[in-house]
Structure 1
C-alpha cells in the first residue's frame, strides 16, 4: 500500500466535526448526562488550585483555550478525550461537579492570579461571590470542540487520548493507560487495581512512593498478564514496549474469553511463592561476590523471575528451591548481558524471558 493509499484509508476511518460551544451549553450537556468527563480520572490528573484559578482567569480575560476533544458514543453521549481538567474545573467552579462515587464536590474557591489578584477567596455563590456580570461572561465564553464521530474506527478515541496525553504532561505512561482502560472496560481496570493491592505483590515489589503515585504497580500487573506466557514469536514481535503494552491491554480488556479467575489465581500464586521463599529480595540484583541481594527494584529481574516462577509452578517443581534459582540467574552471562542497563526493553524481553523459563524449570 502506498503512502497516499494509507492516508486515504486513515482519513476514511476517522470522521470528525468541529465547532464552538458556550460554556453554558457545556454545562447543560453535563447536567443532562450527555457528556461523560470520567470523574474517576481525577486520581490521575492532578491540577493544583492555582492551575484551576489560572484557567478561570484566562476565560475571564478572553484568552483562547485549546479545543476540547470528544468522541461520540453509540448512545450519542460524548466521551471527553482531552479537556477533562478544563471542564471539571469549570463544573467545580459552578458547584455542579460530581465525583466518581456520585458525590457532589465542594465548589471551587479561587486563589489570587497574576492579572486578577482580587479573585483570591472568590467562589460561585460563597462568602465572596463572583459578580453576576462575570458569571455571564463565563457562561457565554465559547470553547471549541473537535468531535470524533461514531462512524470512526472504534479504536480512534483511544489512540487520540494516548497521543494527546503523553509527552510534556504530568501523567505517567501507565496513568494514561489507566484512563484508556476506564474508557474501554472499567470493570477490567478495577480488577487490575485489585491485583496490584495483593499483599504479597506489594511486599515483594517494595516500590517507592513515586512509583506508586505514577501507577507503576498497575503497569507491573499488566506486564505480568501480557508477558508471563508470551510465546517466543510474540516476544520477538515486540517493538516499542510502551506501544505493545497499550495495544495488548486494550485487546485484553475487550476479550470476552479472557479467564480472569485463572489469571488471578496464577498471579496470586506466583507472588505467594516469592513472598514465602524470597521476600522483598525477589526483584533486586544478587551480588555473587557479597552473597546477598542489594539495591532497589529491577524491572529486568521482575520480568525474568515472574515468568520463570510461573513456569516452575506449572512444572510442579520444588518451591523451596526458588530462592536459589533467583540468585543463580546472576551467574549466567546469557542473563546478565541482557539484564544490564543500556539494553532496550524489546531486545531484553525476547532473550531473558525464554532463558528464565528454562533456568527455573531445569
Structure 2
C-alpha cells in the first residue's frame, strides 16, 4: 500500500467536526448530562488557583484558549479527551461542577492576574456577606464567550479517541501512569476504580516505601498495573517487542475493553492475599536490597517485579510460612537469576520477561 493510499484509508476512519460554542451552551450541555468531563480526572490533573484565574482572565479578555477535543459516544454524549481541566475550571467557577461522588465542588476566590490585578477575591456569585462577585453584565459577557470544539464523531475508528488523547498529551506534564489512568477512565471507569482502591490497600502500602515525587506521579497505581500485567504474562524470556511503557499501555487497553476481567485483569482478592503474605514476611523491607545483614536503600523496582511475580504464582506454597518467605525473599539479592538480569545495563523490555519467568521457578523452590 502506497503512502497516499494509507493516508486516504486512515483519513476515512476518523471523522471530525469543529465549531465554536458559547460557554452558556457548554453549561447547558453539562447540566443536561450531554458532555462527560470525567470528574475522576481531577485527581490526575492538578491545576492551582493561579492557573484557573489565568484561564478566566483569558476568557474575559477574549484571549484565545486551545480547543477542546471531544469524542461522540454511541449514545450521543460527548466524551472530553482533552480540555478537562479548562472545562472543569469554568464549571467550578460558575458553581455547577460536581466531583466523582456527584457532590458540588465549591468555587475558590480568583487570584490577581497579570492583566487584571483587581480580579483577586472575585466569585461568580456572592458567597458570603461582602464578597466580590461578577455583575450581571459581566456574567452575560462571560457566558457569550466562545470556545472552539473539535469533535471526533461516533462513526470514527474505535481507537481514534484514545490515540488522539495520547498524542495530545505526549508533551504534557502527566506521568506515564497518569496518562494511562486517563485512558482507563475513558475505557473502563470500574477498572480504574479497582486499581485506585488497591493502590491504597494497607498491606501493599506498608510493604512499599516511595519518595514524595513518585507518590505524586501515580507510581503506586502503576505498580498495581505492573502486578496484574506480570501475573497475566504468558510469554518466554525473549525481549518484549516494544518498549515496556508502551507494553503496559497496550495491556491496559486490551484488558479494559474486555468484559471479563476475572482471569487476566484486576483480581482484588488475589492482590490482597499476595501483599498480605509479603507484608507479613518483611513489611517495609520487602522490596529493599538485603546485604546479608540488613535491608538498605530505596524501593527496588526490579525487586518488586521479581518478588511479586514469584509470590503470586506460588501463593499456596507460602500461605502459612511468613518467616520462610522472608528468607526466600532475602535470597534473591544473591541469586544469579535475579542479579544477572536486573542491573542498570538491562533495559525493562529485556529485564521484565526474564524476571517474571525466573521468579516463578525461584519461588517454587525453597
Q: Same fold (TM over 0.5)?
A: yes
CA distance in 1, matches of 2:96, 2:237: 48
| TM alignment of 1:211-360, pairs within 5 A | 211-233=214-236, 236-259=239-262, 263-288=267-292, 291-313=293-315, 319=321, 320-360=323-363
CA distance in 2, matches of 1:114, 1:200: 48
Q: CA shift at 1:6, angstroms? A: 3.4
Q: With the length of structure 1 as denominator, give the TM-score of the two structures.
A: 0.92
User: Which is further off, 24-33 or 299-308?
Assistant: 24-33
CA 1:11–1:262: 2 relative to 1, 3 Å? closer
CA 1:346–1:71: 2 relative to 1, 3 Å? same
CA distance in 1, matches of 2:41, 2:202: 25
Aligned length: 359
CA distance in 1, matches of 2:195, 2:80: 23
CA 1:324–1:30: 2 relative to 1, 3 Å? same
Q: Partner residue of 2:166?
A: 162
Q: CA shift at 1:76, angstroms? A: 0.7
Q: Partner residue of 1:142?
A: 146
CA contact (8 A) 2:81 2:161 kept: yes
Give runs of ≥4 in structure 1 deviating > 4 Å.
314-318
CA contact (8 A) 2:33 2:77 kept: yes
Q: 1:114 and 2:114 equivalent? A: yes
Q: Partner residue of 1:72?
A: 72
Which consecutive unaligned segments of at least 5 residues does structure 1 have?
none
| TM alignment of 1:19-168, pairs within 5 A | 19-126=19-126, 127-168=131-172
CA distance in 2, matches of 1:5, 1:326: 55
- Secondary structure of the residue aligned to 2:340 is helix
- Secondary structure of the residue aligned to 2:151 is strand
CA distance in 2, matches of 1:275, 1:238: 34
CA contact (8 A) 1:96 1:107 kept: no
Q: Any idea what the Cα deviations from partners look like across 1:1-30, whole Å, max 9, x if unmatched?
A: 444443333222211111111212211211
Q: CA shift at 1:325, angstroms? A: 2.2
- Secondary structure of the residue aligned to 1:133 is helix
Q: 1:193 and 2:196 equivalent? A: yes
- Secondary structure of the residue aligned to 1:147 is strand
CA contact (8 A) 1:284 1:301 kept: yes
- Secondary structure of the residue aligned to 2:122 is coil
User: Which is further off, 237-246 or 252-261?
Assistant: 252-261
Q: CA shift at 1:238, angstroms? A: 4.4
- Secondary structure of the residue aligned to 1:88 is helix
CA 1:5–1:329: 2 relative to 1, 3 Å? farther
- Secondary structure of the residue aligned to 1:143 is strand
CA distance in 2, matches of 1:123, 1:229: 51
CA contact (8 A) 2:237 2:357 kept: no
Q: Any idea what the Cα deviations from partners look like across 1:159-195, whole Å, max 9, x if unmatched?
A: 22222224332x2221222222122121221122222
Which consecutive unaligned segments of at least 5 residues does structure 2 have?
none
Q: CA shift at 1:232, angstroms? A: 2.6
CA contact (8 A) 1:39 1:99 kept: yes
RMSD: 2.2
- Secondary structure of the residue aligned to 2:341 is helix
Q: Partner residue of 1:10?
A: 10
User: Which is further off, 228-237 or 147-156?
Assistant: 228-237
- Secondary structure of the residue aligned to 1:361 is coil
- Secondary structure of the residue aligned to 1:182 is helix
